[in-house]
Structure 1
């Protein structure tokens, strides 16, 4: 008990210190993200990974908190996923490489002996889904970190109920490291998590959830694990349905996630984060109560129903704007005659701002006179 408290405190302080120290190097190396016209260095994920791995490895090395069979491999696989996410933060990486790398790491930690080949493949798919879901949650300040802390406590309680001390210690250290990171990530954020930390967090949470539910029925396990990670699943489902219905590429980014839509409804960035974290707390609590036998399957079904209703409701919030027609009609001068209609002339970003096309011709706003016509005399 005393070691657990000391380990959590060490992880919190170490993550907070590393996040502060890595801010300047991240800016100089260009490992940044732009959020609401702010440049945020993506060094928080590295701090979370280093703090978690160092504290847990110290406990294993000193013998104060042995991890047990399979947990060392889990931590190594999580570190490999974090390294892949760091590469994605530094330079652009196609999504299929992130999916493939995370799937390979998940395949190395799934207990096929207890789950069987079919159950093992489903577990691999679920771990990849949750890891990418937490990466998608990193679209707003403090969101991925807050949901990660709540989920880590919930899955840690499930592991402790199964007398799995190693995973419980691992997730308590992870929750503490995320809390230290949140000291710099609370709105307005001074550092961001990035793919490194979000993939690492989602991977560990999903993998430990699979380990704790090994030996239970497939249907009941799916219900409990969905409740534990309902917010991440809702965000992924919302984005996929929204882009599919809008005819947009599924892998193209956009302001169509949970927090984006809640801000469209009038919530502040902090208000959206708190609301989503509260929803995650409720869903995680239901999953924990059902696992330890203090709740029935009706609770997890309610979580699934509410999640689906929220997704369908938020789909009605407009986020993409109007699609521009392919052929843009421009009024300008051709051959010295003003007012000639040029079909298909492309517009540049600068041209939209100055009222001129790429060919130097003035554009016409719908229902108004030609912008920039007549030309201003020097």
Structure 2
């Protein structure tokens, strides 16, 4: 597409100019029913496949929960769109590239839900899917001014901008999928926003597919609200994000894609802000950006004393408000844009302070200095972990490595035996072996100790691979490990 407008799209008899309220209700309600029944079936027939087990660090649910919720949503939306194409005469042919690529993006995440594939594999799959959609003609090549005359031809910039849009939104949705009902609820609000844009822009096909996805998410949320009986999984999160990103490219009518994208960007204010905070937080601390942590906005609200239900209502309210702000920009043809921008800026600053990311604006410089000092310590621990990894190759016997490992553990402030006031942590290796290491209660955040413990795992894995056993200083800990935090090996 040289320009994402509907001015050049033939409006033949297969594209009706009006969808009745009854049809809207049927598409929404039908998708809701299919998704709800599909989710119920998975819960009744779930075995040991696709389960999300608690780890007592970030995943605090009490028992293993199925994470295959994306399946019923995909089925419901697919059936609704087929019905709209064949029975409702909504011209499914122009949506074929979007449908194919949404199926591919869902598959990338769903395969990972069944068997973890690693972040790099998933990213390659996401970029590949976005490239296919671009090659099939769905792209951002021209940005027309939605608030006046004129346009900008992006030229070769169209490819990276299109890829960034199509890849970033699924990952943003996946990033906030850390609390019951959060990502599904946000997706519901965003799809209703897309449906309004389709209705306002006289695009019944956009209206119908957005209502179908909203209905599917509503049916899934019946089982996903706290306490969740089933999770979206990567398949569901990627499907929601890619659906929003791809469908939004069809929502400009006699104007520009930028108008619709501005609405979506504003409606995505909370997850975008959460992603921005996470990137800044991890970059400043020297932690890999893709490393998961328990410091997202919803985690912070829980720490502030919110129940899961109250935190969810608060975040839903903000998402609804931002959706309305975004729509106001579209409806006023840009007049409300300065007010919306100021609102978003104040929201970001207020959230940073209220959620505790910034303790005080007056002492902000001191906080940065503390973070940088903590980052230097982390770099030391990671470097020492690599040294222990090299020691496995250098040492000729398990006993020799055991002495080096015991020395390294002490250098990191950890211990191999219980001391007064110390806490035990259990490390679980890929082979299933367990070992216990203790850390003092000295005011250091638990997440800091977990980072130190994580860097020991590669050396222990190589030790077991080379000698078939753990260092002798740990072997007496294996038989009866305490039932405490289990730390899995990171990819």
TM-score class normalised by the smaller sequence: 0.7 to 0.9
The reply on whether 1:16 has 2:101 as its aligned counterpart is no
Within the candidate set 68, 82, 101, 1:77 is matched to: 101
The reply on whether 1:351 has 2:436 as its aligned counterpart is yes
Q: Deviations over 1:202-231 (max 9, x none)?
A: 111122223324764687665433212212
The reply on whether 1:145 has 2:184 as its aligned counterpart is yes
RMSD between superposed Cα atoms in Å: 3.1
Within the candidate set 123, 127, 137, 1:99 is matched to: 123
- TM-score, normalisation: structure 2: 0.64
- The aligned runs of 1:24-63 (5 Å cut-off) are 24-34=44-54, 35-36=59-60, 37-62=62-87
The reply on whether 1:312 has 2:328 as its aligned counterpart is no
**Distance of 2:141 and 2:269 partners within structure 1:** 27
Partner of 1:339: none
The reply on whether 1:191 has 2:230 as its aligned counterpart is yes
Partner of 1:133: 172
**Distance of 2:281 and 2:141 partners within structure 1:** 39
**Distance of 1:97 and 1:144 partners within structure 2:** 23
Compute the displacement of 1:195 (Å): 0.8
Aligned-partner SS, 1:28: coil
- 2:248 touches 2:260 (CA, 8 Å); kept in 1? no
CA 1:357–1:351: 2 relative to 1, 3 Å: farther
- The aligned runs of 1:161-180 (5 Å cut-off) are 161-180=200-219
Aligned-partner SS, 1:351: strand
**Distance of 1:186 and 1:79 partners within structure 2:** 25
Aligned-partner SS, 1:249: coil
The reply on whether 1:155 has 2:197 as its aligned counterpart is no
- The aligned runs of 1:261-340 (5 Å cut-off) are 261-293=300-332, 296-310=336-350, 312-313=352-353, 314=355, 315-316=357-358, 326=381
Q: Deviations over 1:338-361 (max 9, x none)?
A: xxxx63247462534799962659
Q: How many residues align?
A: 345
- 2:251 touches 2:260 (CA, 8 Å); kept in 1? no
- 2:35 touches 2:73 (CA, 8 Å); kept in 1? yes
Where does the alignment leave 5 or more consecutive residues of structure 2 unmatched?
1-19, 144-153, 360-366, 386-405, 410-414, 417-424, 427-434, 441-471, 478-491
**Distance of 2:300 and 2:197 partners within structure 1:** 32
**Distance of 2:344 and 2:162 partners within structure 1:** 19
Aligned-partner SS, 1:209: helix
